[in-house]
């Protein structure tokens, strides 16, 4: 089972995410800039409206005061007529309208001035600066109060009409309609927004913050300044929120896109890896199939040869037997030697035929419980150690489920191979043990050991390092062991020599006993 690893985000998903984030940020700034521009335009419009409104008010006031001044001018300063004209303008207790001449109050409507008093100094100075057109005094501090005076002077008579308004600039004017609904306004009786010249404001939060529009309000020869700022987004809450919504959506989209692309890239990599693995497996299977087909053809040929050799070999053996029978009474050492040679070579050919057939034979093992020591004893009896070689039996008590004939052949081939590894004699130890569901049978010799150069070919059919032999002995052992679902290895032993180890499952599939 393949272990799943958390793989890093793919470069493509990172690039795409960053791209979307970059585009989103760009769009955010563009949209916000547009919204801000829209807000500014609306603010300027509002500021214009406010200024025009104030201008209108001032114009009206100028007109009113001019009218009163005209009456005073025409009536020679009649106080009664003045009061009749002026009284309607003093509805507010903060407003006083006075008829003034040479610094003296001739008549006054309202509570701020009284007839006969001298104008306070700052006010007198402002009146002195006045003319026939409306002029304003700026913010004056008289008697502990802040006032602003609007003056229209008589052209020839020296009369002046003065409108004195008490102001409370620290108290915001309540405004709930018209252009004041969405904006904060601060009016200064000067050309710059000096706090000391603040006339009126609609907010406590001064100075105004955020975008502020500065418009000029001409009052006579003076210039007042009107500052206007927005209370709430003039373009509306939604347009102002939109850039942030766009940014949030863009970032989420970037993350989702990155995740999706990353997932798709990972899946593609996984699919490609699976395809590569399956292709490799298929190619390996194909190679194995071709190899087996080849082996099958070779095997069939080997089987046929094995079969077909037996009859001529049988006839040759019979012929040799009959010849020896005829020559029983003859003493001819040369003839005997020749006949012995024939017999030896026939036996070699018979062994080859036997090995070919045994190697290619497909047979299901006929399983039975066998005592390993007894089987080894039988093998040693039919294949005794040559002179100079000893063989030892395994300990008793180990049993195995196997086909007896096949087990005998397995052990015969391994023990014979051990003998051949010790041409000058030695010892062969056969050991058997039983553990973990397997029976282990080892054949250990004291020969030269396994040549590492050829070690991986040792079980190949027809492979041999000996001058005689078919090279099928160990290949047959491997086939017989594998027919029992077992394994066989041949390696160098810890004390020199080779050790062949066969592992047979204690209960192979198909075990019936």
Partner 1 sequence: MIAGVRVLVADDNEGLRSTTAMILESVGCMVVQAEDGTVALEKLASQPIDVVVLDVRMPNCDGIGVLETLTPAPPPPVVVLDSAYHIDHELRDRLGSKVFKYLRKPVRPNDLIDAVTAAADLLKSEQG
SS3 152: strand
Q: What are phi and psi of 444, to 5 degrees?
A: -115, 125
User: What is each CA distance from 136 to 150, 207, 265, in whole angstroms?
Assistant: 5, 23, 77
Q: Which is nearer to partner 1, 368 or 491 (CB)?
A: 368
Closest contact distance (angstroms) between CB of 353 and partner 1 is 8
SS3 119: coil
Given a contact cutoff of 8 angstroms between Cβ atoms, the answer to whether 99 and 106 are in contact is yes
The helix (run of H) or strand (run of E) holding residue 222 is strand 222-230
Which residue reads 């000893």 in tokens? 390
Q: Under the criterion CB under 8 A, does residue 27 sit at the interface with partner 1?
A: no
Q: Does 314 bind partner 1 (CB under 8 A)?
A: yes
**What's the gap between Cα 121 and its chain centre?**
80
Q: Is 56 in the site for partner 1 (CB under 8 A)?
A: no
Choose the stretch contacting partner 1; rule: CB under 8 A; options: 110-118, 181-189, 270-278, 308-316: 308-316
296 binds partner 1 (CB under 8 A): no
Do β-strands 145-153 and 159-167 pair in parallel, antiparallel, or remain unpaired?
antiparallel
Residue carrying the six token digits 């690039």: 15
- Please give the structure tokens belonging to residue 383: 């294949």
Distant-in-sequence, close-in-space partners of 172: CB < 8 Å, separation ≥ 6: 201, 202, 203, 204
d(CA 96, CA 135): 16
Number of residues counted as binding partner 1 (CB under 8 A) = 23
How many other C-beta atoms lie within 10 A of the C-beta of residue 137?
A: 22
Q: Which is nearer to partner 1, 354 or 440 (CB)?
A: 354
305 near partner 1 (CB under 8 A)? no
Give the number of other CB atoms < 10 A from CB of residue 127: 22
Task: Give the H or E element holding residue 392.
Answer: strand 389-392
Using CB atoms within 10 A of its CB, is residue 100 exposed (0-12), middle (13-18) or buried (19+)? buried
Closest to partner 1 by CB, 346 vs 383, is 346
Q: How far is the CB of 313 from partner 1 (least distance, A)?
A: 4
Interface positions, 355-394, toward partner 1 (CB under 8 A): 357, 361, 363, 366
Q: At its nearest, how many Å lie between partner 1 and the CB of residue 403?
A: 9
Q: Which of these segments, 196-204, 315-323, 386-394, 430-438, binds partner 1 (CB under 8 A)?
A: 315-323
> Does the protein bind partner 1 through residue 298 (CB under 8 A)?
no
Contact status: 121 vs partner 1 (CB under 8 A) = no
Among 173, 318, 390, 454, binds partner 1 (CB under 8 A): 318
Q: Which two tokens stand for residue 195?
A: 């706090």
Residue in the block written with tokens 């070690």: 455
Cβ at position 414, least distance to partner 1 in Å: 21
Shortest distance (Å) from residue 446 CB to partner 1 = 34
Is 306 a binding residue for partner 1 by CB under 8 A? The answer is yes
Structure tokens that stand for 418 in this block:
């051990």
Q: What beta strand segments (E) does 103-211 contain?
A: 104-109, 135-142, 145-153, 159-167, 183-188, 198-201
> Among residues 92, 232, 311, 369, which is the contact residue for partner 1, using CB under 8 A?
311
Q: Which stretch binds partner 1 (CB under 8 A): 117-125, 310-318, 332-340, 412-420?
A: 310-318
Of 314 and 397, nearer to partner 1 (C-beta) is 314
Closer to partner 1 by Cβ: residue 141 or 363: 363
Q: Please identify which residue in the block is written with the tokens 């003056």.
A: 151
Binding-site member from 23, 171, 264, 322 for partner 1 (CB under 8 A)? 322
Residue from 83, 206, 305, 317 touching partner 1 (CB under 8 A): that is: 317
Q: Does 327 bind partner 1 (CB under 8 A)?
A: no
Q: How far is CA 113 from the centre of its chain?
A: 82
Interaction residues for partner 1, span 333-362 (CB under 8 A)? 346, 350, 353, 357, 361
Count CB-CB contacts under 10 A for residue 129. 14
- 318 vs 454 by CB, closer to partner 1: 318
Q: Kindly indicate which of the ranges 38-46, 116-124, 314-322, 480-488 contains the residues binding partner 1, using the contact rule CB under 8 A.
A: 314-322
The candidate with the shortest Cα–Cα distance to 499, out of 436, 397, 427, is 427
- Nearest-approach distance from CB 317 to partner 1, in angstroms: 5
286 lies in the site for partner 1, by CB under 8 A? no
Q: What would the x/- binding string for partner 1 be over residues 429 to 468, using CB under 8 A?
A: ----------------------------------------
Q: Which of 81, 190, 251, 313 contacts partner 1 by CB under 8 A?
A: 313
Strands 145-153 and 135-142: antiparallel
Binding site for partner 1 (CB under 8 A): 303, 306-307, 310-319, 321-322, 325, 346, 350, 353, 357, 361, 363, 366
């Amino acid at each position: 089972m393949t272990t799943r690893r958390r793989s890093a985000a793919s470069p493509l998903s990172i690039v795409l995410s960053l791209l979307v984030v970059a585009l989103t940020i760009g769009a955010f700034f563009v949209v916000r800039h547009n919204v801000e521009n829209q807000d500014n335009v609306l603010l300027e419009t509002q500021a214009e409206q406010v200024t025009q409104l104030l201008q209108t008010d001032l114009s009206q006031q100028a007109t009113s005061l001019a009218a009163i001044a005209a009456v005073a001018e025409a009536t020679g300063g009649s106080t009664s007529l003045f009061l009749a004209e002026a009284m309607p303008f003093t509805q507010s207790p903060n407003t006083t309208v006075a008829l003034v001449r040479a610094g003296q109050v001739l008549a006054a409507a309202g509570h701020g001035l009284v007839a006969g008093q001298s104008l306070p100094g700052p006010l007198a100075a402002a009146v002195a600066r006045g003319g026939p057109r409306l002029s304003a005094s700026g913010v004056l501090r008289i008697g502990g109060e802040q006032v602003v005076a609007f003056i229209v002077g008589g052209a020839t008579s020296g009369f002046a009409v003065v409108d004195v308004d008490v102001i409370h600039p620290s108290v915001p004017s309540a405004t709930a309609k018209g252009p004041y609904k969405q904006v904060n306004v601060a009016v200064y009786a000067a050309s710059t927004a000096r706090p000391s010249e603040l006339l009126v404001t609609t907010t406590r939060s001064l100075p105004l913050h955020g975008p502020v529009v500065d418009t000029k309000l001409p009052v006579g020869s003076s210039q007042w300044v009107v500052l206007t700022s927005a209370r709430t987004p003039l373009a509306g809450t939604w347009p102002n929120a939109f850039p942030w919504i766009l940014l949030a959506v863009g970032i989420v989209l970037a993350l989702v896109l990155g995740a999706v692309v990353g997932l798709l890239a990972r899946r593609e990599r996984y699919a490609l890896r699976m395809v590569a693995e399956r292709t490799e497996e298929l190619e390996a299977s194909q190679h194995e199939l071709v190899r087996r087909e080849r082996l099958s053809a070779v095997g069939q040929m080997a089987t046929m040869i094995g079969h077909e050799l037996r009859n001529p070999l049988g006839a040759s053996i019979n012929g040799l037997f009959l010849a020896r029978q005829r020559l029983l009474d003859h003493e001819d050492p040369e003839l005997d030697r020749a006949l012995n040679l024939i017999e030896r070579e026939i036996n070699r050919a018979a062994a080859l035929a036997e090995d070919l057939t045994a190697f290619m034979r497909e047979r299901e093992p006929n399983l039975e419980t066998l005592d390993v020591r007894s089987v080894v004893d039988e093998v040693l009896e039919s294949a005794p150690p040559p002179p100079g070689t000893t063989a030892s039996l395994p300990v008793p008590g180990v049993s195995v489920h196997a086909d007896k004939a096949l087990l005998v052949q397995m052990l015969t081939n391994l023990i014979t191979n051990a003998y051949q590894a010790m041409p000058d004699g030695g010892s062969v130890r056969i050991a058997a043990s039983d553990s973990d569901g397997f029976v282990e049978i080892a054949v250990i010799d004291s020969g030269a050991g396994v040549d590492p150069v050829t070690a991986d070919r040792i079980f190949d059919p027809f492979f041999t390092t000996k001058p005689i032999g078919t090279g099928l002995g160990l290949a047959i052992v491997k086939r017989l062991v594998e027919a029992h679902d077992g394994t066989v290895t041949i390696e160098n032993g810890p004390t020199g020599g080779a050790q062949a180890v066969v592992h047979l499952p204690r209960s192979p599939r198909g075990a019936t006993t």
